Amino acid sequence: MALRAKIVLLANLGRNNSEIADELGVSVKTARKWRGRFGQCGLEGLYDEPRSGRPPVFDTTLRHEVFTAVVGPPPEPYTRWTLDLLAKHLVDSGFASVSLETLSYWLRTADIKPHRVRGWLDSKDPNFREKRDRILALYRNPPKDGVLLSIDEKTSIQARERTRPDQPLRPGRARRVEWEYRRHGIVHLLASFDVCTGRVVGEFADPNNSAAFINFLTKLSKLYPKGKIYLILDNGTTHCSLETKRFFSKHKRFVPVFTPTHASWLNQIEIWFSALSRHALRYRSFESQDDLRKQIEAYIAHHNRELAMPFEWTTKGKPLTGATAKARRRSRSIPRDFRMAARC
């Protein structure tokens, strides 16, 4: 297309076909063809005309058989279709033998990608909208008679020690991390995120059960001695157990607000957990559980000292962003990825 456009541009400058052919290194016939095509049809004339091509070897019935097979379940014990399985299926079904290149071409032209699998989950909560709207209302207008806390557990954080030290990055080579590791157990973290201030309170639970969760709530009641304590909670076992329900019935200061099922993205503590994993835990080696706990405690202290900031729930674009995102970008004091895009 670029060559054909150059032919037209040179023709517009008054060059004849021979001069155009000499300058662009093409034949006079080529220059004459595209100059004439443009004169007759304009820009559309620079495109190739439809070609009949080679007569098809296989009819549409065989192609439809491939499409029918690939949208159905693969043969046992396979979990997804491959080109080899499709070719074997056609032979075993009495159809013709088709090359892998042809099968790949058919799937590409139909925009069918059996090698790609994407998970999905649909909430069947009958009160999804009501629960969602209540949480959004609390985020946009925090209660005046108490504090609003987003609470959850980050369970089974592995204390993994790399068998060899990391190799630092160099020009042209990324940092290298040893993939072989030793396990030193797991750690369960209970944490609350103050929606109005962004401060985090954390406590380790071993084991992670209703008793540990109630103890954490007792700790929060001492940290916030006045007013009510509104809790944004998911539908986890420890949050909905009989012991926890009895605790809430005896302590009226606590006002639990549960997210809809399969909607943990409404819980702002999940953003902080993501930041914790990306900024303090990923690619780090821990010699013991105590080493892991110290790292988490250090990050919580650093967050409360340097990064604590509330989130702002907006009604357009990406609903959950930093409350003073512009100020953050100006100061560059807080990473930009400390945000979350959550659709509601």
Spatial contact of 338 and 271, defined as CB atoms under 8 Å apart: yes
**329 vs 288: which has the higher pLDDT:** 288
Q: What is the pLDDT of residues 224-248, one digit of tens each?
A: 999 999 999 999 999 999 999 999 9
Q: Which one is the CATH code of 128-164+179-331: 3.30.1180.20, 1.25.60.10, 3.30.420.10, 3.40.50.150?
A: 3.30.420.10
Domain boundaries, the chain: 2-46, 60-109, 128-164+179-331
pTM listed for this prediction: 0.67
Tell me the C-alpha to C-alpha distance, in Å, between residue 280 and each of 195, 203, 224, 274, 332: 22, 17, 28, 10, 19
User: CB burial class (10 A; 0-12, 13-18, 19+) of residue 57?
Assistant: exposed
**pLDDT for the residue numbered 135:** 93
pLDDT tens profile 27-47: 999 999 999 999 999 989 999
pLDDT digits (tens, 9 = 90+) for 83-99: 999 999 999 988 889 99
Identify the pLDDT of residue 314: 60
DSSP-based three-state secondary structure for 31: helix
Instruction: Give dist(CA 90, CA 189) in Å, integer.
Output: 53
Q: In the prediction, which pLDDT does 265 show?
A: 85
